[in-house]
Amino acid sequence: LAKTTQPISMDSYEGQEVNITCSHNNIATNDYITWYQQFPSQGPRFIIQGYKTKVTNEVASLFIPADRKSSTLSLPRVSLSDTAVYYCLVGEDTGRRALTFGSGTRLQVQP
Amino acid sequence: EAQVTQNPRYLITVTGKKLTVTCSQNMNHEYMSWYRQDPGLGLRQIYYSMNVEVTDKGDVPEGYKVSRKEKRNFPLILESPSPNQTSLYFCASSWRGRGHTNEKLFFGSGTQLSVL
């Protein structure tokens, strides 16, 4: 099972770019990296997913180095509504399908 | 609208009184799972199901039961709830099962359970 490590919290200001890094040293060959966003009292919501290099969608970018032992979620020009907890999740391909979330990174965006 | 529906949203009960939290998805997903969320501990998986009649334990299964008799439903059962099961519970589903790791999980809105 690929364990993930993220910073507990981060602070930013509106309009800035935010980069949240997740460490996953034991990532398996077939694992994908997925990021979720969670607002208080709501279920997590899918943001972005990638396997290697760079992935970009309308919400964020995901950077994955060649060794895949870490990944960085990049949120361009954050707003107050981006204040949330962000989880990095690494999929497991053993057939067991247990998916473990870490404690996540609490992002606080200030005006 | 594609969604995962949990009920109830809030539940207060007493120790030992059996309860069921329902979860239903309308996306024909094969994979369903239950998580509990406690302050400082993130999301911990309780049970998951790869398909109908196929369930398995997650990281914290003690004190919980599940069943998967139909593809769309995955109820969480607490036979004898205890105060340490007070938590926020989430049901999730995805359409990929065995052999796929790039699934996208869809979560329900959560059930806040308090056991007195």
Question: Which of A97, A100, A105 is best to mutate for the B interface (most B CBs within 10 A)?
Answer: A97
| Band (B98; pLDDT cuts 50, 70, 90) | low
Partner residue opposite A97 with nearest CB, options B41, B50, B104: B50
Contact at CB, A30 and B48, closer than 8 angstroms:
no
| Nearest chain A residue to B89, by CA | A43
Interchain CB distance below 8 Å, A101 and B44: yes
pLDDT interval class at B89 (50, 70, 90): very high
pLDDT, chain B, mean: 91
Query: What are the tokens at A89?
Result: 């999740």
Distance from first CA to last CA of chain B, Å, rounded? 36
E strand segments, chain A:
9-13, 18-23, 33-38, 45-50, 53-56, 61-64, 70-75, 84-90, 105-110
Could you list the mean pLDDT of each consecutive 10-residue stretch along chain A, which spans 111 residues?
84 97 88 90 90 92 96 96 93 57 89 95
In the prediction, which pLDDT does A95 show?
46
B95–A contact, CB cutoff 8 A: no
> Which among A42, A98, A102 is the nearest to B42, CB-wise?
A102
Instruction: Write out the DSSP string of B42-82.
Output: EEEEEEEEEETTEEEE-S--TT-EE--SSSSB--EEESS--
Minimal C-alpha gap between B78 and chain A (Å): 21
